[in-house]
Amino acid sequence: MEHVRLTGPEIARIIDHTLLKPSSTRDQIIQLCKEAVEHRFATVCVNPYWVPVAYGLLKGTEVGITTVIGFPLGSTTTNAKVAEARDSIANGATEIDMVINLGALKSGELDAVELDIHAVVQACKGKAFVKVILETGYLTDEEKSAACLISKRAGADFVKTCTGFGPGEASVHDIALMRETVGPDMGVKASAGIRDKSTAEKMIAAGADRLGTSSSIAIITNGTGEGY
């Protein structure tokens, strides 16, 4: 695998600048949005409650708004995920990161998993991208591949590694596996544990075309961050 070398601004354009801590305050969300505009990150990634705040700050800019649904466990019902996605889009979200139904996946209930994703995709169609969080730390390689194929069949736009709240972090191995499974025409998002530019470049070289991180500024300035 060749090492990819990119400038800070080049990496910024594929970063979802993330703040998902349950204790996040309004002032912290406002600061996140200001940073996203300043550095031209792809999106901010915030919990659904903060989507209207982000929309008020980011409308008219190039920065999108990602939010998370079924988060972080993935075990809410399909109807709940659909309602959460629709509400978030109505409030201004442009990208929806949904957590896959892990229990159903590990039970071999693959049709149920696909229907769950497809219902959210249909609710978002023409309004928001859908990224499916696999929570790879819980999965075998076989399950990761199956989850990628299910997500692709269901019409999702991206597959994503982790919530940042479960075990494990994004790895070069997982990104390469996910990219190989979904092919060149579907997005792959690396998230959790990306805290410096070198790690970001390795993920991109392995096949990631979006990064989720709360260490965004450290990454684009070649420093080291903490957290998600």
Separation of alpha carbons 169 and 137, rounded Å: 7
Separation of alpha carbons 174 and 138, rounded Å: 12
User: Which tokens belong to 138?
Assistant: 């819980």
3-state secondary structure of 144: helix
Does residue 162 contact residue 168 with C-beta atoms inside 8 Å?
A: yes
Separation of alpha carbons 37 and 113, rounded Å: 36
Q: Find all residues with CB under 8 Å of 110, minimum gap 6, and list them.
A: 104, 146, 150
Which residue, among 158, 116, 137, has the nearest Cα to 16 in the 3D structure?
158
What amino acid positions are annotated as catalytic residues? 97, 160, 189
List helix spans (H) across the chain: 8-12, 26-39, 51-58, 78-90, 102-106, 110-124, 141-153, 172-182, 197-206, 216-220
Which residue, among 192, 138, 186, has the nearest Cα to 159 in the 3D structure?
186
